Structure 1
Amino acid sequence: MTLRQHAYPHTCFARTSRVILLALASAVGSLFLLAGNARAQGVLGSGSTQDTSQTPTNDDPSAATLAFGGSSDSADDRSAVTTSSNLDAPVASLPADQIIRILQQNENLLMDVKSQVADRLQQQGTQIEATDITDEMLYNQIATNASVRANVTTYLRARGYVPQGGLQSAGAGPAQNDSQFGLPSSDGQSTSPSGMSTGGDTGFSNLESGGDGQPRTTLPAGNSRDKMENRGKEETNASTDVPKVLRLPTPYNLRSMRDLYTQVPEHAAPLKRFGSEVFVSREFPSMGRGVSTRDTPLDIPLGPDYVVGPGDTLAISLWGGVTQSISRVIDRDGHILLPDAGSLQVAGLPLQRAESLIEGALKQQYRNVRVAVTISRLRSVRVYVVGDVQRPGGYDISSLSTPLSALYAAGGPTSVGSLRIVRHYRGQALIEDIDLYDFLLHGIRKGSARFESGDTLQVPPAGSQVAISGAIKRPAIYELKPGESTLASVLEDAGGLTAAASLGHITIERIDANRQRETVTLKGVSGQDLQTDRAAIETFVVKDGDRIHIAPILPYSERAIYLQGHVVRPGRLSYTDGMRLNDVLHSYQDMLPEPAAHGEIVRLVPPDLHAETIAFNVSEVLIGNENLTLQPFDTIRIFGRYEVDTPKVIVHGEVLRPGTYPLSNGMTAAQLVRMAGGFKRDALLNSADLTSYSVEGGSRVAGRVSTLQIGAAVSGSEPNADVPLKPGDILTIHQITGWNEIGESVTIQGQVKFPGNYGFQEGERLSSVLRRAGGMRDTAYPEGAVLIREQVRDLEEKSRQELIRQIDTNSAAARLGPAVGSGDTGGTLQLIKAQQEQAVTQLKSHPATGRMVIHISADIDSWANTPADIELRRGDVLTIPKRPGFVLVSGQVYNATALTFAPGKTAAWYLSHAGGTNSTANRKEIFIIRANGSVVGRHSGGWFDPDVLSTRLSPGDVVVVPQKIIGNSLLWRNLLTTAQLASSIAITAGIAVAAL
């Protein structure tokens, strides 16, 4: 992707943005399934190459290498937040603005989130890299999706960015939080925290009014507590704030690229009218409700020059000749009634003169009396507050109240009312004009004229207004006063520029009255000469409706280099002229253990800042031989030894921890064995195989196998026995011959003299162990001996499972065969289905036994060292039963039972005594299972053998009459025949056990 494509991201990425946005919501919603598991597995973020210098110090130690997945929520974590497996449930989450602020202030955390989102999208089939996901895409999902906010909160909490308290329910909705960022609402307009729209081209005067025309400066009583609790938590606009930028996709995952591929976002945050919140009162005092306020505390002290009048209450204290306190109210005629002194005129006198007059009158009545007079309660005056105020009308207020107090009583100006001109009238005479900005900006309350009854306070409509935003201390809408229409005066009202303001990038959106809108830039402002720029600002005249935006300076440092990778302190470093590589890399202490010999500088070459890579040798740089000169925006990348074509060796065999190990410098075969935990007890120490590989001629790999005296190498008894390893070497530690046979035994049970478990030597046969067991007893029946072997049981079990699978999967249509008439198909299929279920049930109820057919007799010498004398294996179980004395007839007969053995009788004789075969019997396939497990069938001895029923039986033999198989399919008939035989063979082993 070219730099030109990145310069116009909205064009170049239009085809992919829609796919990304569609997949992003589901990806972010599901990717945090692993965030709930982050702490236990400790893999959240393990694939990220970003530096973690800004990770909070309270990060969970087990989550230090956090990846996206994992699940280690402790009990307290699970109680506070829920994982995304239950996205429909209410989940405690952070507000959207707080999540976005955390991500904006922690670039590495933001890249971690993007990397995990990209991984999740790739798993879902969307080919995308982390650098293709813009900040705006991610922020939009956080702002509009409650589930995403809950999952991101889970992830942030696992990383230690979320405090234990202060979470809100995700179901509460994002409206009250998202709007603080000026995010678009459902109608596409930005909303302010109070809910007012700022998306239209309306004038500033109605920016704060709702759709009903009511101003937003006065909030409902229900919101009062929320407003007070949020005081001090407003978004700041200080020079120390992390610059708010939009990051575009970058071609390389370099921090320098991430800094350069940023855009200063357009100003979209809503602005409030300056001073609109001053008059927002939660509980208005009595004067705010338009009633008399005699008990209202005074907002200024009373001096001796206060002129008393009708309605004032005087507190008169006497001491000396008499001690007494009296209270007197000045009547309408201006008189007060004193004890023993009569009526006295005091109205219109200063407080000090009234006190002297009262003291003189009382001294005539009381000897040596002293008097002190104070005002205990002020008179009220009726003042009318009219114009563009919240609650116009008449108010009885204190005679000392100021115009500001009267405005508070009336709720303050509306969004249309002026804050710069408030007129105080007495009759038709204008007493004074009050500028509320003097109080709001400087704390000065001008206006010395006192209210008299009947005075009027009039708030006219607001005059010219301008909005100022950007790198300014108090972004807001300001009202202009005649004579103060320069940009400098507006900046002064707004608190001045921040240190991050760019004077060369001031734009004014202006309304050409009744004609059009236009964009104006300051002439003579270049951003190079500060004095010239300030002079241009002093002379520039602003007009009504101007929207002034002061862009910030570049959000990144143009004199910085970047260090990343296998280093102790990754991050951004300051650049100085003439800076060289060893000014950054001083020694191996600046790097993590075992750095690779190869490092590189990724340089952004001007003028188009395309990337080029310059390789260097780390060790040469540290000794000063390759001291390259650095340039701004250089990225120094150091790799770990195991990140660059990782050298590995493998150890197999008799060590405690066989497997693949990194090849450290100078590692030998003995060191590899020690790394793998050392030898096991069965290890062969005399020799070990070492397979090494080498590249010949750069075109082929050749292998070589050598033998090592590994025991001597590990013990160090022979220094030359140990050899250094090369990448790819495979070391194999052999096992001592016959080690696995240690502890092998067989079980002899039943009719032997000494039954029990017997150890045996390799190659020992059955006759030898039987002799050690004392031979067979007189009651033994060796013809029915049962030998169970584990290996045979495993093979039988696999065959049984495969047979069950074939019977279950064989289609009913394939069982019919071509000879079945179509008219009887339905009934035949039902019979076949029943037969299938019966066969499968019988197979499942008779598990594999593992029986081997043996031919032995009580005379051990007669078969010893013959093919019948088999070698024993570990776990063999030999059962010698007693003579059973019966023959079993089973299957499709009228009376399936065990019949007493009669010497010389044939199978036909026993079958007849069991009632003969029934109608479902298949007489052609009758077979006999001998007591030793061998089977006699129709074709057991050849085509010309006599019939099976003529076979003479021995004790323990079983005559099996199989069921007639329905269906003409040859495959189906063979399957069921095999199933019937397999189910019947297990019977003979049961007979032997029963005969013990």
Structure 2
Amino acid sequence: MRKIIIAAVFFMALFQSSIMLAQDLLKSNDLSTVKVDYLSDSDIAKIKTQLQTNNMTVEQAEPMALAKGMPASEFAKLKIRLTENSNATTLNKKEDLKEEGESNELSRKQEKIVNKKVKDTINALIFGSELFDNPTLNFEPNLKLATPVNYVLGPGDELQVSVYGVQEFNASVPVSIEGKVTIQYVGQIQVSGMTIEAATQKIKGAIAKVYSTVRSGQSQVGISLSRIRTIRVTIIGSKQPGNYSISSLATVYNALFLGGGPGKNGSYRNIELLRDNRVYRNVDIYRFLVNGDQSDNVGLKDNDVIRIPAYNQRVTVEGQVKRPGIFEMKKGETFSDLLTFASGFNEFAYTASVNVLQKTDKEFKVIDINTSEFNSYKPLSGDVFRVSKILNRFENRIKIEGAVFRPDTYSFYEGMRISDLISKAEGLKEDAYQNRARIIRLQSDLTTEIVNVDLAKALAGDLEADVALKREDIVTVYSILDFVEEYKITIGGEIKKPGVYDYYENLTLNDLLVQAGGLTGSASKRVEVARMIMSEEIDDANPSKAQLFNIEITANNNEQLKNFELQPFDVVNIRKMAVYEKPESVTVSGAVNYSGKYVLANKKERVFDIIQRAGGLTAVANIEGVKIKRPIQAKQIEDLENVNLNLGKKDSIQKKLTKKLKEDLKFATIPVDWKSIVKNPESNTNVTLFAGDEIEVAAFNEGVKVTGNVLLTSEIPYTKGKGFGYYLSAVGGVDNKGWKKKSYIIYPNGKAAVAHSFLFIRSYPKVTPGSQIIVPEKPEAKKMSTGEFVSIAGVLASLAGVIIAILR
């Protein structure tokens, strides 16, 4: 007996150490007595879960287990068991998938029902139809919520059974076809048809019989629903009737959404949920749409039938309601209920009465229901309710505008007078014209009339003048500023800010000078003021159009001793000094002793004078290379644009000339004959200079430059006695595009000369040192086309035939 007790204690120690290992491989301090062979598959699965929770592999856990006394041989067995368990888990999953394909009784998932939601344009106005056209509103059950305590278990559900505490156990157990769950070491338990709450108590009692620590309270049992079974429901009368496989947690609204909602003539208010061949519940969707009440959204059971019958009564609401459309009515409901479905009248509705278009057995008729009848009138099928818009009229509106402090629209009351309205508008402004005010009044025949009011008397208490007002009156209070002409005054000439200014009473010349920024430095003492002539009679003997005043002022002072008073529309002109010209200069550059800018000392300064002031020509100066570059003025371009050359609208010659002056040519060149000027300073070539002129004196250059359409652009040394042809030959002659007979030469002073001919004898201009020969390009000759050649040949042949005929 003693040996048996010792063996039992040893076995219990091994079992207890195995349990410790299964509980926590990582936290246990002594693993020396562990026997892997005694561990169950669930223990191995738990060890694997512990490793995964701590993000550790079997290899990483090995040193830790060996350090705690676990034999290496036992850990090798554990490693093999963990590997086999992983493979077995994968195989089990494959078997489950295989079984799921063969039979979906136990582990069949909810089929994904995808309905293409198409907007029902035919029934779009039916209240509630949009509920089933919206793909984002599908009423799918939330599988992540806690398990409902009244949920009834059945075949296909799966329970998660856990024992935790001193003893631990964890397993997923499906409800079999027979309605039983099988728990290891506990056995089979019948749960089908029981609520999850009742099944939990039954399973806990069965486990407590096996696990002593559960009975003692050292271990606890937890049971939850881990997989939901699929049920089958039938929908009749929907847009997409048929059988649907849905979650066992699904509700009526979820099934209705899958079926597309009621059909064309389906009822929204009398939907029947049939269970066990009896009407279990009547569903009214309006309770949800109007009040958000989901009491009809009950859970479904396997083989439930949702029947949507045809509607009994529908009416239409049009016009000024917040939700116009077609509504389904139940027996006994009134127009007030219908108004609730339509969310009531909108802001512009005429609510005193509603027009109803009603059908009889033969024809239509019209009924008006007043506000007092809204709670008693019971709509009939086919009624069309028309809610009209209120009139754009006001019951008690009156308006005041003009010279009052608060012009606006005010409420009218019987007996209101104009003084009362002005008091509401917080009185008259200071500029109010009190001799007359205007009332525009709408008469009974909708025509308007004007009533004039003496405001001064009305506000003084004269009841006859204090006119009684009527609704829709528009009162206008005039301002004296409306009758004042807007006066202006003009100033120009030597003033910093010339322009047109407002005239004010008692405006003087000093005031205007200061307002216009003061006098410029070139202002003279002379000021002319032109004043318009006003007269009631025409004086033909007086031809004057304006009266002139000539005033002398102190030009360097804006404040004049004699302050001239101005009148409306006066025109003031400040004259310029007779002599007031800023110094102007010209530029001298090139071969002179002192180049630079020189001020024109007198109005007739000439080339010779400026060059003498510049120290004369240097020793290297080319006396034949003196020229003046004069800037082209804007006025010259304007004059050219104004000249009509009669070249036609499409001719571009004038446009090219204007463009060349504006963009290409910046200066006009004036040649200077220096030899003639030296001999006779009064010579015509001694040009009078203008501001901006530039005198250029070229340095002597013995070369002759040849450019243009020649074989080689080059500069050839000057050879006395050699002519035009010599220099062209020196650069290889002209090329095939060169136009030799139009060649020209530009001399150092800017003068140009061209070749000319007389009696077939062509003469070329003389070549001097520093000159430039230019050979232009020949114009392109248009070649005759074959058609033109044939036409000319035909004309010549015809002409030859005529001549021969004449000679015969």
Distance 2:304 2:650 in 1: 106
Is 1:490 the counterpart of 2:338? The answer is yes
Residue in 2 aligned with 1:416?
Answer: 265
From 563, 582, 589, the equivalent of 1:721 is 563
Distance 1:775 1:314 in 2: 122
1:703 Cα deviation from its structure 2 partner: 2.3
1:732 Cα deviation from its structure 2 partner: 1.7
Equivalent residues in 2 for 1:94-133 (5 A)? none
1:680 Cα deviation from its structure 2 partner: 2.5
Amino acid at match of 1:497: F
From 219, 233, 243, the equivalent of 1:393 is 243
| 1:169-189, Cα deviation, whole Å (9 max, x unpaired) | xxxxxxxxxxxxxxxxxxxxx
Distance 2:372 2:315 in 1: 20
Amino acid at match of 2:338: V
From 494, 502, 518, the equivalent of 1:654 is 494
Contact 2:519 2:555 in 1 (8 A): no
Contact 1:712 1:721 in 2 (8 A): no
From 705, 711, 727, the equivalent of 2:548 is 705
Residue in 1 aligned with 2:379?
Answer: 542
Distance 1:623 1:360 in 2: 106
Contact 1:311 1:331 in 2 (8 A): yes
Equivalent residues in 2 for 1:785-824 (5 A)? 805-806=645-646
3-state SS of 1:278 partner: helix
| 1:408-437, Cα deviation, whole Å (9 max, x unpaired) | 453432343211111233455444433222
Distance 2:483 2:140 in 1: 75
Residue in 2 aligned with 1:456?
Answer: 305
Equivalent residues in 2 for 1:190-229 (5 A)? none
1:544 Cα deviation from its structure 2 partner: 2.7
Distance 1:374 1:611 in 2: 89
Residue in 1 aligned with 2:532?
Answer: 693
Distance 2:216 2:312 in 1: 63
**Structure with larger Rg:** 2
Is 1:475 the counterpart of 2:324? The answer is yes
Distance 1:574 1:510 in 2: 40
424-433 or 571-580: which moved more? 571-580
Contact 1:478 1:490 in 2 (8 A): yes
Contact 1:274 1:477 in 2 (8 A): yes
Contact 2:233 2:244 in 1 (8 A): yes
Contact 1:321 1:367 in 2 (8 A): no
Contact 2:138 2:254 in 1 (8 A): no
Contact 1:380 1:397 in 2 (8 A): yes
| 1:770-795, Cα deviation, whole Å (9 max, x unpaired) | 8867899999999999777779x888
Distance 1:438 1:706 in 2: 95
Distance 1:466 1:457 in 2: 25
Distance 2:203 2:535 in 1: 124
Contact 1:567 1:638 in 2 (8 A): no
Contact 2:631 2:666 in 1 (8 A): no
Amino acid at match of 1:683: A
- 1:491–1:699 distance in 2 versus 1, CA, 3 Å: farther
- 1:336–1:468 distance in 2 versus 1, CA, 3 Å: same
In the superposition, the TM-score normalised over structure 2's length comes to 0.53
371-380 or 544-553: which moved more? 371-380
Percent identity at matched positions? Answer: 20
- 1:738–1:871 distance in 2 versus 1, CA, 3 Å: farther
1:460 Cα deviation from its structure 2 partner: 1.0
Contact 1:789 1:875 in 2 (8 A): yes
Contact 1:466 1:543 in 2 (8 A): yes
| 1:695-726, Cα deviation, whole Å (9 max, x unpaired) | 322889952222345658974353x4152452
Contact 1:856 1:863 in 2 (8 A): no
Contact 1:335 1:347 in 2 (8 A): no
Distance 1:867 1:314 in 2: 126
| 1:453-497, Cα deviation, whole Å (9 max, x unpaired) | 54422101233222224332333321111222x322211222333
- 1:652–1:782 distance in 2 versus 1, CA, 3 Å: farther
1:555 Cα deviation from its structure 2 partner: 5.3
Equivalent residues in 2 for 1:47-66 (5 A)? none
Amino acid at match of 1:704: Q
Is 1:669 the counterpart of 2:509? The answer is yes
Distance 2:605 2:251 in 1: 120
Residue in 2 aligned with 1:893?
Answer: none
3-state SS of 2:495 partner: coil
From 241, 253, 273, the equivalent of 2:126 is 273
- 1:698–1:635 distance in 2 versus 1, CA, 3 Å: farther
- 1:851–1:881 distance in 2 versus 1, CA, 3 Å: same
Residue in 2 aligned with 1:682?
Answer: 522
Residue in 1 aligned with 2:51?
Answer: none
Distance 2:115 2:689 in 1: 94
From 354, 361, 366, the equivalent of 1:520 is 366
- 1:328–1:554 distance in 2 versus 1, CA, 3 Å: same
Distance 1:921 1:374 in 2: 117
Distance 2:426 2:613 in 1: 79
Distance 1:775 1:348 in 2: 131
| 1:728-781, Cα deviation, whole Å (9 max, x unpaired) | 332222222222x22134567899998875545665565987886789999999
Question: Structure 1: any 5+ residue segments left out of the alignment?
Answer: 1-217, 228-268, 288-292, 526-532, 812-832, 886-898, 903-909, 915-919, 923-928, 936-952, 959-996
| 1:132-175, Cα deviation, whole Å (9 max, x unpaired) | xxxxxxxxxxxxxxxxxxxxxxxxxxxxxxxxxxxxxxxxxxxx
Distance 1:477 1:780 in 2: 108
Equivalent residues in 2 for 1:570-581 (5 A)? 577-578=416-417, 579-581=420-422
Is 1:552 the counterpart of 2:389? The answer is yes
- 1:783–1:573 distance in 2 versus 1, CA, 3 Å: farther
- 1:853–1:393 distance in 2 versus 1, CA, 3 Å: same
- Structure (1 or 2) with the greater strand fraction: 2
- 1:273–1:604 distance in 2 versus 1, CA, 3 Å: farther
- 1:805–1:313 distance in 2 versus 1, CA, 3 Å: same
Distance 1:308 1:774 in 2: 125
- 1:609–1:328 distance in 2 versus 1, CA, 3 Å: same
- 1:759–1:309 distance in 2 versus 1, CA, 3 Å: closer
Contact 2:509 2:564 in 1 (8 A): yes
Amino acid at match of 2:339: L
Distance 1:451 1:810 in 2: 90
| 1:30-69, Cα deviation, whole Å (9 max, x unpaired) | xxxxxxxxxxxxxxxxxxxxxxxxxxxxxxxxxxxxxxxx
Is 1:738 the counterpart of 2:579? The answer is yes
Pairwise CA RMSD = 7.5
- 1:679–1:271 distance in 2 versus 1, CA, 3 Å: farther
Contact 1:468 1:475 in 2 (8 A): yes
Residue in 1 aligned with 2:791?
Answer: none
Question: Structure 2: any 5+ residue segments left out of the alignment?
Answer: 1-112, 703-717, 728-738, 742-746, 754-765, 772-808
